[in-house]
Structure 1
Amino acid sequence: MGKVKNPFLVVNPKSYLYGKKILQLAESTDKIAEKSRLQIFFTCPFTDIRYIREHTHFIIVTAQHMEYLKPGRGMGHILPESLQEAGAGAVFLNHAENPLTVSQLSKTIIRAKKLGLITIVCADSLLEATAIAEFKPDILLCEPTDLIGTGQVADDSYILKTTEQIKSINPDIAVMIASGITTAEDVYNVIKLGADGTGGTSGILKAPDPVRRVQEMAEAVLQAQRDRKNVTGRQ
Structure 2
Amino acid sequence: MMVLAMTAIRPPLIIVNFKAYPEALGDRAVEKARLAEDVAEEEGICIIVAPPLVDLALVAREVSIPVFAQHVDPVEPGRRTGHIPPEAVKAAGATGVMLNHAEKRLDYLDIKIAVDRCREVGLLSLVCCAKLRYCNMVVRLGPDMFAFEPPELIGTGRSVTSEKPESLRKAMTIAKRLRPEIIALCGAGVSCGKDVRDAIVLGAEGVLVGSIVRRDDFKAVLGEMARAALRAWEEKGF
TM-score higher than 0.5: yes
| Percent of aligned pairs sharing the same letter | 31
CA contact (8 A) 2:135 2:174 kept: no
- Unmatched segments (≥5 aa) in structure 1: 230-234
Partner of 2:41: 34
CA RMSD of aligned residues (A): 1.4
**3-state SS of the aligned residue for 1:177?**
strand
CA distance in 1, matches of 2:53, 2:152: 26
Instruction: Give the corresponding residue for 1:113.
Output: 119
Counterpart selection for 1:72 from 68, 78, 87: 78
Report deviation, 1:81.
0.8
- Runs of 5+ unmatched residues, structure 2: 1-6
What does 1:54-69 align with in structure 2 at a 5 Å threshold?
54-57=61-64, 59-69=65-75
Deviation at 1:206, TM superposition (A): 4.3
Q: Name the residue aligned to 2:176.
A: 167
Q: Within 5 Å, which residues of 2 pair with 1:172-191?
A: 172-191=181-200
Residue type of the partner of 1:74? R
**Among 56, 76, 88, which residue is 2:94 paired with?**
88
Residue 217 (structure 1) aligns with: 225
Aligned length: 227
TM-score normalised by length of structure 2: 0.91
Q: Give the TM-score of the pair, scaled to structure 1.
A: 0.92
Query: Could you list the per-position Cα deviations for residues 144-184 of structure 1 after superposition, in whole angstroms to 9, with x for gaps in the alignment?
Result: 11111111122322222111122111111111111110111
Contact 2:32–2:213 under 8 Å retained in 1? no
CA distance, structure 2, for counterparts of residue 53 and residue 163 of structure 1: 30
Q: Deviation per CA, 1:115-144: give whole Å up to 9, x if none.
A: 221111111111111111111111111111
Q: Distance in 1 between matches of 2:186 and 2:101?
A: 13
Q: CA deviation at 1:208?
A: 4.2
Q: Deviations over 1:193-220 (max 9, x none)?
A: 2101102111x13444011111111111
Contact 2:43 2:223 in 1 (8 A): no
Q: Distance in 2 between matches of 1:14 and 1:38?
A: 22
Inter-partner Cα distance in structure 2 for 1:206 and 1:184: 17
Match of 1:104 among 103, 110, 132: 110
Q: Deviation per CA, 1:28-62: give whole Å up to 9, x if none.
A: 111211232311110111111111111111x2111
